[in-house]
């Protein structure tokens, strides 16, 4: 009886995303952005030394750039240089191109990214009804696994979108990889991808999978899953939130509403 009372009291808790925006609120730390002051020429200074993962660099003009694919959301840059960096509450952080994770974005990148997303959508058109995901841990610290597991709870309820998890790669349409892509997992990852029927999509989820993690390269790791497999969608974050994972999956299978023109 307790679950009935709780249901009547709380009502529907399942998110309406992606049909309706569902932000985590203004205090959610979805990603780090470079403010206009940081993107100005000559603004880099000592800011490039703040990031423990080397995600902050300077372009040819001395303006700051930040690679979200290497960012672990520690917030050190935001605390030390609030004039140049800030957290954004955006939950849609995934990108179909690795270079698109570098901010601030160049305007000329938009056309190339739109073409890339169009090609991906045409390739996976047959997956519009429902998809099955094979999740592989390729050297994760376990943080991403908690967020992946949350996709099946009543709040996110990925099954309402026709998204299911499977233990067999022969039944899978999308390979979701977490972890740094260790050398020992290179063979199993390639075998898994080869066993999947076409069309198929590869999603690298988390900073470790995107760039190799905090310490890379090492004796056991390279620069992420992209060194092993052809990745279609990159989801930054350490770990990425369930909404960000859901955004990356929907981006990979072409199921995002048309009103979202950018990732």
Q: What pLDDT digit, counting tens, does each position of 48-103 carry?
A: 999 999 999 998 888 899 999 999 999 999 999 999 999 998 888 999 889 899 99
Joined together, the tokens standing for residue 148 give 């992946």
Three-class SS state of 201: strand
In the numeric block, which tokens belong to residue 11? 């009502």
CA distances, 126 to each of 64, 118, 130, 197, 252 (Å)? 41, 14, 9, 12, 12
**pLDDT value of residue 227:** 93
pTM flag (> 0.85): yes
Task: Return the bridge partners of 182, or none.
Answer: 221
Q: How far is CA 66 from the centre of its chain?
A: 15
The separation between the first and the last C-alpha atoms of the chain, rounded to the nearest angstrom, is 43
Look at residue 106 in the predicted model and tell me its pLDDT.
64
User: For residue 261, what pLDDT is reported?
Assistant: 40
Instruction: Give the rounded distance of the alpha carbon of 168 from its chain centre.
Output: 23
**Between helices 143-150 and 242-252, what is the axis angle to 10°?**
70
| Shared fold status for 31-88 and 111-252 | no
Strand partners, 202: 175
- Output the six-digit token pair for 38: 């940081």
Number of other CB atoms surrounding residue 129 within 10 Å: 6
Pairing assessment for the beta strands 85-88 and 31-34 based on DSSP bridges? antiparallel
Assign a CATH topology to domain 111-252. Rossmann fold (3.40.50)
pLDDT confidence of residue 16: 85
Q: Please give the pLDDT value at position 59.
A: 87
* Concatenated DSSP letters of 79-138: HH-TTTEEEE--S---BSSGGGGEESPPTTHHHHHHHHHHHHHHHTGGGSS-EEEEEEES
Per-residue pLDDT of the chain (263 residues; tens, 9 = 90+): 666 666 666 667 788 888 887 766 777 888 999 998 887 887 788 889 999 999 999 988 888 999 999 999 999 999 999 999 999 988 889 998 898 999 987 655 666 666 666 676 666 666 667 889 999 999 999 999 999 999 999 999 999 998 999 999 999 999 999 999 999 999 999 999 999 998 899 999 999 999 998 877 888 888 999 999 999 999 999 999 999 999 999 998 887 764 444 33
pLDDT value, residue 39: 75
Domain parsing of the chain, residue ranges: 31-88, 111-252
Spatial separation of the C-alpha atoms in residues 82 and 94, rounded to whole Å: 24
Q: What value, to the nearest 5°, has the Cα angle with vertex 31 and ends 27 and 35? A: 90
| CATH number belonging to the domain at 31-88, selected among 3.30.70.20, 3.40.50.9100, 3.40.50.360, 3.40.50.12780 | 3.30.70.20
> What integer pLDDT is reported at residue 127 of this predicted model?
67
């Amino acid at each position: 009886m307790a679950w009935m009372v709780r249901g009547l009291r709380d009502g529907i808790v399942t998110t309406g995303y992606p049909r309706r925006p569902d932000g985590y609120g203004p205090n959610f730390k979805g990603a780090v952005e470079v403010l206009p002051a940081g993107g100005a020429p000559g603004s880099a200074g000592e800011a490039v030394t703040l990031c423990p993962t080397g995600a902050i660099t300077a372009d040819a003009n001395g303006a700051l750039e930040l690679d979200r694919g290497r960012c672990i959301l520690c917030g050190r840059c935001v605390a030390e240089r609030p004039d140049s960096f800030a957290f954004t509450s955006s939950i849609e952080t995934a990108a179909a191109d690795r270079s698109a994770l570098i901010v601030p974005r160049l305007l000329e990148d938009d056309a190339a990214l739109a073409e890339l997303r169009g090609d991906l959508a045409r390739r996976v058109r047959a997956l519009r009804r429902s998809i099955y995901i094979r999740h592989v841990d390729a050297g994760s610290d376990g943080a991403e696994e908690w967020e992946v597991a949350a996709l099946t709870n009543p709040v996110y309820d990925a099954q309402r979108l026709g998204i299911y998890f499977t233990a067999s790669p022969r039944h899978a349409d999308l390979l979701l990889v977490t972890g740094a892509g260790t050398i020992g997992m290179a063979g199993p990852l390639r075998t898994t991808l080869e066993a999947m029927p076409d069309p198929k999509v590869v999603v690298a989820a988390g900073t470790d999978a995107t760039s190799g993690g905090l310490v890379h390269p090492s004796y056991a790791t390279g620069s992420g899953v992209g060194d092993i497999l052809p990745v279609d969608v990159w989801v930054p974050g350490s770990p990425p939130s369930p909404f960000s994972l859901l955004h990356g999956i929907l981006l990979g299978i072409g199921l995002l509403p048309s009103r979202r023109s950018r990732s």
